[in-house]
């Protein structure tokens, strides 16, 4: 009879079925506040317990390998700098080496072989230092996740989503997404230090391909067209030295995962959306960060008229509340955030839990 450990290993190696499960698990983080609300526990009381348990789980995962080994980034990311220091373009010269990784359960060691070119934006090379490979890199990403949690400490709803056990495990796996996510969290949350936030935002633009996309959407949502252009310009500027080093077509396709002819990087989309469940971290983070802001905007004098209009157009019984919020915001966006209706109008009704404090303007 197959032992339980062998059965678990077999399940972890079933390919796409397991990947689908991980995709779903990441998105389930969005349902944690609803689960807490169903139990009748206040968000602010539940958040420290859930986040604390998640931190313990992350540290156990890093230290033992439990639910770990989902990516080779803890081993490959710190080594790409050596390719550059050896005088080779990391977007063109493949990194070839073998490493041993714990996968799935403690003690399950797997020998893996890496032969890929660099596929991130250049500043990810900064995530390289002695002792960071493997467990050290996983601890670094857990620390980055912890920083983002601290920055969200005044938003219990956000903490329940971003501090969920699934996100904790992904941090322990060592996905390098958590570094730019921590930088962007500071940039979007700490309004009292705009210059520092802007500088950290610029750093994030050079680390992971999703960061420029997120920042671009953010500025489009605020109708700040000049900032959209600056975001694109800064992102390309980071890549210019490597494009000049060339071959430019290979650098471009490796950095932006665009399958040009002769590109050594396989096509990441749409199939990669299934196999790389860390991609789902970005929408989970975005909803955790901006969801409460959108709710507060809908209850503010600026957003209330648009929200009321959206509700009046939603005649279907049991219309999904987040869709009403999105529809209200889109109406305001198309109107250019024109002055709202007269102040004599009654305020918008509560739209759900939104945390405490914060700005009341457009998210």
- Please state the three-class secondary structure of the chain as a single string: CCCHHHHHHHHHCCCHHHHHHHHHHHHHHHHHHHHHHHCCCCHHHHHHHHHHHHHHHHHHHHHHCCCCCCCCHHHHHHHHHHHHHCCCCCCCCCEEEEEEEECCCCCCEEEEEEEECCCCCHHHHHCCCCCCCCHHHHHHHHHHHHHHHHHCCCCHHHHHHHCCHHHHHHHHHCCCCHHHHHHHHHHHHCCCCHHHHHHHHHHHHCCCCHHHHHHHHHHHHCCCHHHHHHHHHHHHHHHHHHHHHCCHHHHHHHHHCCCCCCCCCCCCCCCHHHHCHHHHHHHHHHHHHHHHHHHHHHCCCCCHHHHHHHHHHCCCCCCCHHHHHHHHHHHHHHCCCCCCCCCCCCCCCCCCCCCCCCCCCCC
pTM value > 0.85:
yes
% of the chain exceeding 90 in pLDDT = 55
Top pLDDT among 273 and 310 is at 310
Of 321 and 47, more confident: 47
Look over the chain and give the mean of its residue pLDDT values, rounded to a whole number. 85
pLDDT in tens, 133-181: 788 999 999 999 999 999 999 999 999 999 999 999 999 999 999 999 9
Question: Mean pLDDT throughout 14-41?
Answer: 85
Residue 21 vs residue 303, higher pLDDT: 303
In our burial notation (b when 16+ CB lie closer than 10 A, e otherwise), range 279-295 reads bbbbebbbbbbbbbbbb
Cα separation, 98 vs 76, whole angstroms: 10
Q: What is the pLDDT of residue 255?
A: 87
The 10s digit of each residue's pLDDT in 59-83 is 999 999 998 988 889 988 888 888 9
Check pLDDT > 70 for residue 259. no
Position 131 confidence tier, pLDDT thresholds 50, 70, 90: low
pLDDT on residue 349: 47
φ, ψ for residue 113, nearest 5 deg = -125, 130
- pLDDT score at 355: 41
pLDDT attached to residue 59? 97
On the 0-12 / 13-18 / 19+ scale of CB atoms within 10 A, 269 is exposed
Q: How many residues does the chain have?
A: 363
Q: pLDDT value at position 316?
A: 58
Average pLDDT (304-322) is: 78
Q: How confident is the model at residue 128 (pLDDT cuts 50, 70, 90)?
A: confident
Which has more confidence, 211 or 107? 211
Asked if residue 177 lies in contact with residue 282, where contact means CB atoms within 8 angstroms, the answer is yes
Q: Where are the domains of the chain?
A: 16-291, 301-347
Look at residue 231 and tell me whether its pLDDT is greater than 50. yes
pLDDT at 281 over 80: yes
């Amino acid at each position: 009879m197959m032992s339980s450990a062998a059965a678990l290993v077999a399940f972890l190696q079933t390919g796409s079925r397991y990947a689908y499960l991980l995709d779903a698990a990441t998105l389930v983080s969005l349902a944690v506040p609803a689960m807490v609300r169903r139990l009748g526990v206040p968000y602010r009381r539940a958040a420290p317990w859930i986040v604390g348990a998640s931190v313990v789980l992350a540290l156990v995962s890093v230290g033992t390998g439990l639910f770990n080994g989902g990516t080779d980034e803890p081993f490959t990311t710190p080594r790409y700098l050596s390719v550059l220091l050896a005088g080779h373009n990391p977007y063109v010269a493949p990194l070839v080496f073998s490493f041993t990784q714990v996968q799935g359960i403690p003690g399950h060691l797997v020998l893996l072989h890496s032969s890929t070119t660099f596929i991130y934006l250049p500043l990810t090379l900064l995530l390289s230092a002695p002792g960071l490979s493997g467990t050290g890199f996983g601890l670094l990403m857990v620390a980055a996740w912890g920083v983002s949690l601290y920055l969200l400490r005044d938003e219990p709803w956000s903490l329940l989503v971003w501090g969920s056990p699934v996100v904790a495990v992904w941090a322990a796996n060592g996905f390098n997404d958590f570094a730019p996510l921590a930088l962007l969290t500071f940039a979007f949350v700490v309004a009292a230090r705009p210059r520092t936030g802007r500088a950290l935002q610029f750093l994030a633009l050079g680390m992971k391909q999703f960061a420029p996309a997120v920042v671009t959407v953010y500025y489009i949502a605020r109708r700040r067209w000049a900032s959209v252009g600056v975001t694109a310009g800064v992102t390309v500027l980071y890549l210019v030295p490597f494009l000049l080093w060339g071959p430019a077509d290979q650098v471009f396709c490796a950095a932006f995962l665009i399958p040009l002819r002769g590109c050594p990087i396989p096509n990441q989309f749409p199939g990669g959306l299934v196999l790389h469940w860390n991609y789902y971290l970005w929408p989970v983070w975005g909803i955790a960060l901006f969801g409460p802001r959108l709710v507060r905007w809908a209850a503010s004098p600026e957003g209330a008229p648009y929200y009321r209009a959206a509700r009046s157009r939603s005649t279907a019984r049991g219309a999904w509340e987040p869709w009403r919020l999105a529809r209200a915001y889109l109406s305001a966006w198309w109107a250019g955030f024109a002055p709202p209706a007269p102040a004599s109008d009654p305020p918008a009704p509560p739209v759900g839990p939104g945390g405490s404090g914060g700005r009341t303007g457009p998210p």
